[in-house]
Structure 1
């Protein structure tokens, strides 16, 4: 089974490989596609849309399964704060599976800047004095002191989205 990941981000590719570990029939490739949503998706709906767009566009590149992984920020009901959210989508062209991952409250200073229009990745780079945090442990890894990193969080979201493709219970 050929799986196309709608991203060139090595963390998203590694998360897909991790979620499919043990499936010897799966090969995973990176596919450069647009998400069709802003660089900083805001809200679950926009983040899900980005994941679905990536999955469909990866599938259209000639794969058996298309995978889309999208990180965004969202307000969560009546809970205070702005949260990092992660969504995954998987499609074979007929069925679409969706899964959500970690929800992690952002520090107030980071949230203020993101609400002001900045993208989370560059804000985290600036706050930490590093570069490409999003392609390393991500905000999830930094804000949990490594308890969970971005790859693990994305793999968890993808595990949920793979449900309709790995079991007959759907």
Structure 2
């Protein structure tokens, strides 16, 4: 089974491989960089839109290039305000060969006001975390969740949880798709 992932980030590619291997055999994951067509730091529903845009772009690339992939996965990190607090989360969109679509969300984790202020100005969470940790490219390592959980959870684990549930509609197609 061939799965296209809308990113070259090894964290996202490996999360897809690990999560979907729980459901499907002989998985090959291929990362292709595609644009989300939303802000670099999506807020609220733009996170869903960005994930779906990535998956749809992969669907089109698959058709154009005859890659014979079975699933197309877009992952988008975003922030959302709930219960008067700001949370970071990952949104996963999976599309199949018939253009059926399923969504999943990672666990949400609370963000401090100082970081949220920067994100609302359009700065990407990964860049803010690089600055805080005085490192480069932390989003391809533990990510913000790794920092805030003191290394107990990493970005790949965060995404795996959302991917595990994004596949639900495909496991029960008759209930979800007409």
Quote the residue 1:143 is aligned against.
148
Answering whether residue 122 of structure 2 is matched by residue 114 of structure 1, we say no
1:157, 1:10 → 2: CA distance?
Answer: 17
2:20·2:163 contact (CA, 8 Å) conserved in 1? no
Q: Please list, as runs of the form range in 1=range in 2, the aligned pairs for 1:1-16 lying within 5 A after superposition.
A: 1-16=1-16
Query: What runs of 5+ residues in structure 2 fail to find an aligned partner?
Result: 63-68
**TM-score, normalised on structure 1?**
0.92
Give per-residue Cα distances to partners, 1:72-109, cap 9 Å, x unaligned: 11111xx2332102110001143100011111111222
Shift of 1:12: 0.5
2:2·2:27 contact (CA, 8 Å) conserved in 1? yes
Q: Please list, as runs of the form range in 1=range in 2, the aligned pairs for 1:120-135 lying within 5 A after superposition.
A: 120-135=125-140
1:110, 1:141 → 2: CA distance?
Answer: 15
Runs of 4+ in 1 over 6 A off after TM superposition: none
Quote the residue 2:71 is aligned against.
65
| Cα-Cα RMSD | 1.4
Secondary structure, aligned partner of 1:61? helix
Secondary structure, aligned partner of 2:54? helix
Match of 2:108 among 103, 109, 120: 103
2:40·2:123 contact (CA, 8 Å) conserved in 1? no
Shift of 1:69: 0.6
Quote the residue 1:39 is aligned against.
40
Secondary structure, aligned partner of 1:102? coil
Aligned residues: 167
Query: What runs of 5+ residues in structure 1 fail to find an aligned partner?
Result: none
2:38, 2:121 → 1: CA distance?
Answer: 18
Shift of 1:117: 2.8
Shift of 1:166: 2.7
Shift of 1:144: 0.9
Shift of 1:25: 3.0
